[in-house]
A and B are shown apart, each in its own frame.
Chain A
Amino acid sequence: DGGITQSPKYLFRKEGQNVTLSCEQNLNHDAMYWYRQDPGQGLRLIYYSQIVNDFQKGDIAEGYSVSREKKESFPLTVTSAQKNPTAFYLCASSFPAQPQHFGDGTRLSIL
């Protein structure tokens, strides 16, 4: 079945550690997105990519990095510079101006 796969479902980070969240899609979508969700905050855009090897910062990119080496994959690294990384992270993909399809999310917590 076509869809978006995020892994892991739960992730724990130690102080000073970088962690990488995986996002893979087999929908042949050009655009991919990373969102962060905090309680009562809605979804805030971290990074997005419209084509391979290109990506743009969203509203809260500080402390995060991404890569888009393949159309299907858009991993997100939460670096040690992100001082408050505890949140629910959602990856999405779409064709331009079409509804975004979302993965099941990764819940990141601090040890």
Chain B
Amino acid sequence: AQKVTQAQTEISVVEKEDVTLDCVYETRDTTYYLFWYKQPPSGELVFLIRRNSFDEQNEISGRYSWNFQKSTSSFNFTITASQVVDSAVYFCALNSRGSTLGRLYFGRGTQLTVWP
């Protein structure tokens, strides 16, 4: 079974604070992909990152960084020096080879609010 858990329903921080969004996944497959999407108030989902199961290197993109740890089945997302524009719902998602190619399993999302 494929499952993604985002235990944090809501997080509030003040601008310039760092914040980490947690994501824990379950899959029996050895080949899989993990994704993060951002959903601003306007509603559309914006793709942020994709990682495959064979690449455990952490990734940094500007103020965003991702920590992938297979040993704990986690793919956490950190925003450094948060800004008001980072306020959104963030979704973690999983696609595994055992499921139909392309099908994503989403977590319930974490609502991030950044206060000025």
Q: Is the CB of B95 within 8 A of A40?
A: no
Q: Specify which chain A residues have a CB less than 8 angstroms from the CB of B109 in the assembled complex.
A: 40, 42
Nearest CB of B to A57, in Å:
11
* Dominant SS among interface residues on chain B: loop
Q: Which residue of A lies closest to B42 (CB)?
A: A104
- CB neighbors of A among B26-69 (8 A): 33, 35, 37, 42-47, 50
Q: Is the CB of A96 within 8 A of B101?
A: yes
Q: Which residue of A lies closest to B50 (CB)?
A: A99
Q: Specify which chain B residues have a CB less than 8 angstroms from the CB of A88 in the assembled complex.
A: 43
Q: How many of B's residues come within 8 Å of A, CB to CB?
A: 23
Q: Is the CB of A42 within 8 A of B106?
A: yes
Known: A50-B102, A94-B102, A96-B102. Is A42-B107 also a contact (CB below 8 A)? yes
How far apart are the CA atoms of A45 and B95 in the complex, in Å?
13
Q: Is A64 an interface residue (CB 8 A)?
A: no
1/0 contact string of A71-93 vs chain B (CB within 8 Å): 00000000000000000101010
Q: Is A101 an interface residue (CB 8 A)?
A: yes
Q: Is A100 an interface residue (CB 8 A)?
A: yes
Interface pairs (10), CB distance under 8 Å: A31-B101, A33-B102, A40-B109, A42-B108, A42-B109, A43-B106, A48-B102, A90-B44, A100-B102, A102-B46
Q: Which residues of B contact A (CB under 8 A)?
A: 6, 9, 33, 35, 37, 42-47, 50, 91, 95, 100-104, 106-109
Known: A50-B101, A56-B100. 11 other contacts (CB 8 A): A31-B102, A40-B9, A41-B108, A43-B91, A48-B103, A88-B43, A95-B102, A97-B95, A97-B101, A98-B50, A105-B43
